[in-house]
Amino acid sequence: MQQVFVVGGLKDQLKLLISLQELDIRILEKQSIINEIPLKISGAETRLNKILANLEKIKQGQESLEKKKRDKERALDDINEKIKKLKTRITQIKTNKEYQAHLKEVESVEKERYAIEDEILLIMEEIETSLKESKSREETIRSEKNKVDEFKKKLDGEIVEAEKELSALHEARSGISESIDEELYNLYMNLIKSGKGLAVVEAKEEICLGCNMNFPPQLFVELKKNEEIIQCPQCHRILYFKSD
């Protein structure tokens, strides 16, 4: 069964409860805005962090290419030195057969040199492409960072404004709650906890708008008078009737 409170000045008490509920709804909304701001900032930073990670990957690739290029250049130096030594040996050749074998060895080593030179050119092209890509990413990062900084600045302003409004709402709430009967206020607070922030709800056409359940017609007749503190038989929230 629904609980009915009979205290002095019920109409005024009910009005105070309705006002308190409206304030608490607004307080929850403002607090929710404040609580969501760090998530918004985190979301804005996610794209920037992805671009930064991508740039780091590109730079690691550049370092790998530079090392590969240095290794190839050292190999090229070794081959050039080998060719130089081979050419100095030509004075020691005495037969045509030795000369032909020497030429083939020089030719083989020179082919190896050309192949390494081609590889170095390809690596240099890859490095150039990578440098262009990293430069593009750096420009994107600067642009994205400016956007994130502006967004943070905007959200910081929203926090300051929301906290200012929240402070005013809490002050107004304190004034109202002090005027409510202690037993009623305790009931209200218990309903706030159990009703997910909703303790006082409107009733329309014999329906509680808190739980959307029907209640007895006679109860609705009494409720329309707004002379008693009446709770919903189903969800136990405090009901009130708003006349046209």
The Cα-based distances of 18 to 7, 22, 24, 92, 133 in angstroms read 16, 6, 10, 112, 61
Bridge partners (DSSP) of residue 230 are: 4, 239
Taking the C-alpha atoms of residue 143 and residue 217, their distance in angstroms, rounded to an integer, is 64
What is the crossing angle of helices 10-88 and 182-194, to 10°? 30
Give the alpha-carbon dihedral of 86, 92, 95, 96, to 10 degrees: 30
Asked if residue 5 has pLDDT above 50, the reply is: no
pLDDT at residue 6, as a whole number? 41
What is the residue-averaged pLDDT of the chain? 90
Inter-residue contact 90 to 36 (CB < 8 Å): no
Asked if residue 10 has pLDDT above 80, the reply is: no
- Model confidence pLDDT, tens digit, residues 114-169: 999 999 999 999 999 999 999 999 998 999 999 999 999 999 999 999 999 999 99
Asked if residue 238 has pLDDT above 70, the reply is: yes
Please state the separation of Cα 203 from the chain's center in Å.
Answer: 40
pLDDT at residue 145, as a whole number? 92
Average pLDDT of 105-119?
A: 92
Taking the C-alpha atoms of residue 206 and residue 155, their distance in angstroms, rounded to an integer, is 44
Which residue is associated with the tokens 């218990």?
190
238-240 and 4-5 beta bridge pairing:
unpaired
Average pLDDT of 4-21?
A: 76
Taking the C-alpha atoms of residue 33 and residue 27, their distance in angstroms, rounded to an integer, is 10
Asked if residue 227 has pLDDT above 90, the reply is: no
Whole-angstrom distance between the N-terminal and C-terminal Cα of the chain?
Answer: 28
Residue type, 167: S
- Model confidence pLDDT, tens digit, residues 59-102: 999 999 999 999 999 999 999 999 888 888 887 888 888 888 88
Class of domain 33-176: mainly alpha
User: Could you tell me the two tokens for 124?
Assistant: 């240099």
> In terms of pTM, does the model score above 0.75?
no
Contacts of residue 75, defined as CB under 8 A and 6 or more positions apart, other chains included, come to 116
**Would you tell me how many other CB atoms lie within 10 Å of the CB of residue 73?**
14
Inter-residue contact 191 to 211 (CB < 8 Å): no
Taking the C-alpha atoms of residue 240 and residue 217, their distance in angstroms, rounded to an integer, is 14
Domain boundaries, the chain: 33-176
